[in-house]
Amino acid sequence: MTTKIAIRIIKPHSERSFAADVASIWANRDLLLVLARREISIRYRQTIVGLLWVVLQPLVTTAIFTTVFVVFVRIPTQGESYPLFAFAGLAVWQYFNRIVIDGGNSLVTNAALITKVSFPRLIIPMVSPLAAAVDCMIALLALVVTTLLMGAHVSWTVVFAPVVVFAVALFGYAIALWLAPLNAVYRDVGITLPFVMQVAMYMSPIVYPSSLVPEKIRWLFSLNPIAVMVDAMRWVVLGTNAPSPAGLAAFGVITALLFWSGTRVFRRMEGTLVDQI
């Protein structure tokens, strides 16, 4: 008498639709929240000041850049408060930087979880935008308080700050969808990423005004997605000039293309990640 054994072969769903991916993430939203809470807990565990680091980091960095660019270099501020100008830019940049770097390394750092538990892998790069959003909102609250303490005006458009944060999160997540699987296969990506992000920061008008950029190439800076995000945050909080319509349109198109192509690359490489991490 022979015994039949049923064998179930699980194959990677590289041809899943976008709607199926969204439904799968929503069905596992509790896991996403658990991973985000774990990320926040691990980040500030055994620290003396805890979440105060969220405020100290941009404040200290702002003080350094203010000393360098205002006291020593004496860049023109065009009547704006440079510390507030720099604080707003750094708050957005540090959020974006953390999404990209942590998201790009997310599959590698969570290798033990990925190889033992079955769940939508698209959740892993999504943890960093969600966890870091708490830090970003605290930093923005500190920016508003600092603005009021300095006697400056806080624009009523500050209510749209969460919308800007969401746009930054979506753009960063779209990039992480590319970087995470590539870094899992080619570790050079994770090694090079901090340097690339540092160069990107100084290539963007975050700690200096775009008026310092030569007029011939200034239009490139207005289309730079990072510059658009920073200008949008300065506009909603400080009431400065809003990003150009062309810049906002370019940001939307670039984000959509990165997100669409990133999900395809992630799905295509997802099936072999377990063997290569």
CA-CA distance, 231 to 200, in Å (whole number)?
A: 16
**Residues ≥6 apart with Cβ < 8 Å to 181:** 107, 265, 266, 269, 270, 273
Three-class DSSP labels, the chain: CCCCCCCCCCCCCCCCCHHHHHHHHHHCHHHHHHHHHHHHHHHHCCCCCCCHHHHHHHHHHHHHHHHHHHHHCCCCCCCCCHHHHHHHHHHHHHHHHHHHHHHHCHHHHCHHHHCCCCCCCCHHHHHHHHHHHHHHHHHHHHHHHHHHHCCCCCCHHHHHHHHHHHHHHHHHHHHHHHHHHHHHHCCHHHHHHHHHHHHHHHCCCCCCCHHHCCHHHHHHHHHCHHHHHHHHHHHHHHCCCCCCHHHHHHHHHHHHHHHHHHHHHHHHHHHHHHHHC
Residue 81 domain flag = yes
Taking every pair of Cα atoms in the chain, the longest distance, rounded to a whole number of angstroms, is 91
Within a domain: 2: no
Q: Is residue 271 part of a domain?
A: yes
The verdict on residue 27 lying in a domain is no
Domain count, the chain: 1
pLDDT per position in the chain (277 positions), as tens? 455 565 554 455 555 666 777 788 888 889 889 999 888 888 777 666 666 777 888 888 889 988 988 888 777 665 678 899 999 999 999 999 999 999 999 998 888 888 777 778 889 999 999 999 999 999 999 999 999 998 888 889 999 999 999 999 999 999 999 999 999 888 899 899 999 999 999 888 888 887 777 788 878 877 889 999 999 999 999 888 888 898 899 999 999 999 999 998 898 887 777 666 6
Is 32 a member of any domain?
no
* Contact call for residues 265 and 181 (beta carbons, < 8 A): yes
170 lies in a domain? yes
Phi/psi-derived region of residue 79, left when phi > 0, alpha when psi is between -120 and 50, beta in every other case:
left
Q: Does 13 map to a domain?
A: no
Within-domain flag for 15: no
Token representation of residue 208: 């200096």
Report yes or no: 56 and 49 within 8 Å, Cβ to Cβ. yes
Domain coverage including residue 190:
48-276
Q: Please indicate, yes or no, whether the overall pTM of this predicted structure exceeds 0.85.
A: yes
So what's the pLDDT on residue 207? 84
